[in-house]
């Protein structure tokens, strides 16, 4: 299955697989785990940990360290389009281009 990661109504990543994580208080870090124990997932780059809004919360002591996101299952076509377009929709690209023309005095 393929997924898009959404934060503040914006796609911030696409995933070809979900790597589930949970916070382990005994060692004060996030570790990989099964889906049943998950509180979060790893980003595609493996550099970020995101709490999933529908999963159990992190403890209050660390909850502010991690962004909360939503994940949505997508098809292969949308996955490839989002990767190619750097997670932007064609409309967002057109809007950004138009704005740059306006700010540059072309329009």
**What local confidence, expressed as pLDDT, does residue 40 receive?**
96
Quick one: which of 4, 58, 67, 64 has its CA closest to 31? 58
Q: What percent of the chain has pLDDT over 90?
A: 61
Determine the Cα–Cα distance for residues 4 and 78; give it in Å rounded to an integer. 9
Which residue matches tokens 């990543």? 13
Q: Is 100 helix (H, G, I), strand (E, B) or coil?
A: helix
Q: What are phi and psi of 79, to 5 degrees?
A: -55, -50
**What local confidence, expressed as pLDDT, does residue 33 receive?**
96
Determine the Cα–Cα distance for residues 103 and 107; give it in Å rounded to an integer. 8
Q: What is the mean pLDDT of residues 69-89?
A: 88
Q: To 10 degrees, the CA torsion angle through 19, 9, 88, 91?
A: 150
pTM of the model: 0.78
**What local confidence, expressed as pLDDT, does residue 88 receive?**
77
Q: Is 17 helix (H, G, I), strand (E, B) or coil?
A: coil
């Amino acid at each position: 299955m393929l997924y898009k990661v959404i934060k503040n109504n914006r796609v911030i990543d696409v995933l070809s697989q979900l790597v589930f994580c949970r916070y382990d208080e005994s060692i004060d870090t996030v570790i990989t785990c099964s889906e049943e124990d998950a509180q979060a997932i790893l980003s595609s780059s493996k550099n970020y940990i995101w709490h999933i809004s529908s999963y159990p919360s992190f403890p209050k002591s660390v909850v502010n360290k991690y962004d909360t996101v939503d994940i949505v299952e997508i098809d292969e076509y949308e996955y490839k389009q989002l990767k190619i377009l750097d997670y932007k929709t064609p409309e967002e690209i057109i809007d950004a281009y138009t704005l740059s023309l306006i700010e540059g005095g072309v329009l």
